[in-house]
Chain A
């Protein structure tokens, strides 16, 4: 295992803004992470999911050595992260979608050169990696542009490229596509896919965009209020918590709608000119048979469960 954590807890002490005054501080405790244990194997691309304030970022910060846990143990590449051994720090990278680590007033290349010194990257490896980033992420025009003159998407490309310069074994990505448009998000995803395939890094990704998770991660870990509520394959998550599938039929005219109304299946509804049938895996065969016998197959589509709905369902129902 490349990452293991055992009952990691993190409690923050904060001033209660309602109760505190200039001369009196009333402290309140917030448990951001509660007894979180997990294991991650080398080369895995793991999605870390949870609602806002679930403790995802806090946990990533503990695993990357930025903050100390209140209790518990963790080993990343055999190191205790918060001891910040230089060999450990040379083997990881963290990218946060809401913060810049590159120098704001400088052209990207100048920041890269500084990182080369910080990470002791040999000249040849540095050049090869910059070339690889330019080719994979298409950032040739960005190399000599100042960070402050870039769009959010361009900045994120540069941030990601910077994080790969020293060939990290583990990459922590905290909402790298936040605020990006569809094209930029897709470009970032494609880059991550390619680079993961080429370099075989272990990547842990937190994102609120299900598109990112579905496209990149086989395994997902869901946490809520600092506790793990699911750890397994995304496919199994869908099967377990969203057993229903949707059969959609285009209903062109009134006669089609009448035929739809006469179907024996009970869980059906019409939304505008689309007939929607929700059916569980057990009865899918029988239902599709009836639908195909009644309608032209070209008008019928069977949809997979919507991951976003599955996750929302888990958060709302607190499944453990």
Chain B
């Protein structure tokens, strides 16, 4: 494990070396995020002008859920998003995965952490600010245990979200080029910003159990605002373990189908 952290650290330093040359890119990315937050707040205001709560959640709780989901997506963008996207666009199509397969480390992890983008750290800081603001303004009394379970489940959610992301790109081993699946995953992120109970049952089953993208933000947020339930925590741990096995199994199956590319 230490080895992977060292690789991530060096990759991040390299990312800084590469991206410091293009500050415009970093600044425009940050401005875009600020704009998105403002538009979302306006959108939530429009909703909350017609209702006092969404499935029992007030404005600031919803804002927290939104910002919290953005932190999860931000961590993914910082460390693994570009690497995972490269699987759908070039690694398999052009046979660039070859070199990752000849390295004495887990190729799935190596390829996904190989292209971090350090400037997403600024976005994460921005959203941490929004979550703190939402917690304070929500007016709900929050204890130390709530914060502990939030942080614990946040780590689990990051891992689970990573597996979900990897699963979406594994079909590339068979179809060679599949940008559309990554786009689909981007759309599914929308489920992370609303409380589970506003959705109909079939969507709950689909995105809370079968492909639990909704659970990654909702369960930690519930643990912060309400008394943490052992069943929810066990569910998160259990489903992450299940998806660990599913992802690894599918990845290995995909590798057996990997044909590289002609020289």
Binding site for B on A (CB under 8 A): 12, 57, 61, 64-68, 84, 86-87, 89-90, 92-94, 96-99, 101, 103, 105-107, 110, 113-114, 117-120, 174-175
Q: Which of B26-34, B50-58, B255-263 is found at the contact surface with chain A?
A: B255-263
Interface digits, B1-30 against A, CB 8 Å rule (1 contact, 0 not)?
Answer: 001001100110110011000000000000
- Write out the residue numbers on chain B whose beta carbons fall within 8 Å of the beta carbon of A98: 263
Count contacts between A and B, CB distance < 8 Å: 75
Question: Cβ of B200 < 8 Å from any Cβ of A?
Answer: no
Known: A110-B17, A118-B105. A57 touches B263 (CB 8 A): yes
- Chain B, range 124-175, C-beta contacts under 8 Å to A: none
- Write out the residue numbers on chain A whose beta carbons fall within 8 Å of the beta carbon of B10: 110, 113-114, 117
Tell me the bound Cα distance from A93 to B14 in angstroms: 23
The minimal Cβ–Cβ distance linking A203 to chain B, given in whole angstroms, is 16
Asked whether B102 lies within 8 Å of A92 as measured between CB atoms, the reply is: yes
The minimal Cβ–Cβ distance linking A278 to chain B, given in whole angstroms, is 36
- Write out the residue numbers on chain A whose beta carbons fall within 8 Å of the beta carbon of B260: 61, 66-67
- Write out the residue numbers on chain B whose beta carbons fall within 8 Å of the beta carbon of A103: 14
Partner among A96, A117, A175 whose Cβ is within 8 Å of the Cβ of B98: A96
Which 6 pairs between the two chains have the least Cβ-Cβ distance?
A101-B99, A89-B104, A86-B104, A105-B18, A57-B263, A90-B104
The minimal Cβ–Cβ distance linking A49 to chain B, given in whole angstroms, is 15
Identify 18 residue pairs between A and B in the complex whose beta-carbon atoms are under 8 Å apart, listed by A's number: A12-B259, A61-B98, A61-B260, A66-B102, A67-B258, A68-B255, A89-B102, A99-B263, A106-B17, A106-B18, A110-B17, A114-B11, A117-B10, A118-B104, A118-B105, A119-B103, A120-B3, A120-B104
Question: Cβ of B250 < 8 Å from any Cβ of A?
Answer: no
- Write out the residue numbers on chain B whose beta carbons fall within 8 Å of the beta carbon of A118: 7, 103-105, 110
Binding site for A on B (CB under 8 A): 3, 6-7, 10-11, 13-14, 17-18, 95-96, 98-99, 101-105, 107, 110, 255-256, 258-260, 262-263
Asked whether B95 lies within 8 Å of A99 as measured between CB atoms, the reply is: yes
Asked whether A117 lies within 8 Å of B104 as measured between CB atoms, the reply is: no
Asked whether B99 lies within 8 Å of A99 as measured between CB atoms, the reply is: yes
- Write out the residue numbers on chain B whose beta carbons fall within 8 Å of the beta carbon of A99: 95-96, 98-99, 263
- Write out the residue numbers on chain A whose beta carbons fall within 8 Å of the beta carbon of B7: 114, 117-118
- Write out the residue numbers on chain A whose beta carbons fall within 8 Å of the beta carbon of B18: 105-106
Residue from B3, B256, B263 with most neighbouring chain A CB atoms (10 Å): B263
Tell me the bound Cα distance from A204 to B70 in angstroms: 50
Partner among A68, A94, A174 whose Cβ is within 8 Å of the Cβ of B256: A68
The minimal Cβ–Cβ distance linking A57 to chain B, given in whole angstroms, is 5
Asked whether A114 lies within 8 Å of B102 as measured between CB atoms, the reply is: no
Asked whether B3 lies within 8 Å of A65 as measured between CB atoms, the reply is: no
Tell me the bound Cα distance from A92 to B262 in angstroms: 21
- Write out the residue numbers on chain B whose beta carbons fall within 8 Å of the beta carbon of A174: 263
- Write out the residue numbers on chain B whose beta carbons fall within 8 Å of the beta carbon of A97: 263
- Write out the residue numbers on chain A whose beta carbons fall within 8 Å of the beta carbon of B107: 84
- Write out the residue numbers on chain B whose beta carbons fall within 8 Å of the beta carbon of A105: 14, 17-18
- Write out the residue numbers on chain B whose beta carbons fall within 8 Å of the beta carbon of A64: 102
- Write out the residue numbers on chain B whose beta carbons fall within 8 Å of the beta carbon of A12: 259
- Write out the residue numbers on chain A whose beta carbons fall within 8 Å of the beta carbon of B95: 99
Please, which residue of chain A has its CB at the minimum distance from the CB of B18? A105
Asked whether A94 lies within 8 Å of B102 as measured between CB atoms, the reply is: yes
The minimal Cβ–Cβ distance linking A139 to chain B, given in whole angstroms, is 20
Please, which residue of chain A has its CB at the minimum distance from the CB of B19? A105
Known: A57-B262, A61-B260, A114-B14. A94 touches B105 (CB 8 A): no
Residue from B95, B110, B258, B259 with most neighbouring chain A CB atoms (10 Å): B259
- Write out the residue numbers on chain A whose beta carbons fall within 8 Å of the beta carbon of B101: 65-66, 84
Tell me the bound Cα distance from A67 to B260 in angstroms: 7
Asked whether A89 lies within 8 Å of B103 as measured between CB atoms, the reply is: yes
The minimal Cβ–Cβ distance linking A76 to chain B, given in whole angstroms, is 12
- Write out the residue numbers on chain B whose beta carbons fall within 8 Å of the beta carbon of A66: 98, 101-102, 258, 260
The minimal Cβ–Cβ distance linking A188 to chain B, given in whole angstroms, is 17
Asked whether A175 lies within 8 Å of B263 as measured between CB atoms, the reply is: yes
Residue from B3, B95, B107, B258 with most neighbouring chain A CB atoms (10 Å): B95
Asked whether B14 lies within 8 Å of A110 as measured between CB atoms, the reply is: yes
The minimal Cβ–Cβ distance linking A28 to chain B, given in whole angstroms, is 14
The minimal Cβ–Cβ distance linking B252 to chain A, given in whole angstroms, is 10
The minimal Cβ–Cβ distance linking A117 to chain B, given in whole angstroms, is 5
- Write out the residue numbers on chain A whose beta carbons fall within 8 Å of the beta carbon of B14: 103, 105-106, 110, 114
Tell me the bound Cα distance from A107 to B99 in angstroms: 18
Tell me the bound Cα distance from A101 to B104 in angstroms: 15
- Write out the residue numbers on chain B whose beta carbons fall within 8 Å of the beta carbon of A107: 17
- Write out the residue numbers on chain A whose beta carbons fall within 8 Å of the beta carbon of B96: 99
The minimal Cβ–Cβ distance linking A143 to chain B, given in whole angstroms, is 15
The minimal Cβ–Cβ distance linking A161 to chain B, given in whole angstroms, is 15
The minimal Cβ–Cβ distance linking B177 to chain A, given in whole angstroms, is 13
Tell me the bound Cα distance from A24 to B107 in angstroms: 34
Please, which residue of chain A has its CB at the minimum distance from the CB of B107? A84
- Write out the residue numbers on chain A whose beta carbons fall within 8 Å of the beta carbon of B98: 61, 66, 94, 96, 99
Tell me the bound Cα distance from A110 to B13 in angstroms: 9
The minimal Cβ–Cβ distance linking B17 to chain A, given in whole angstroms, is 7
Please, which residue of chain A has its CB at the minimum distance from the CB of B100? A101
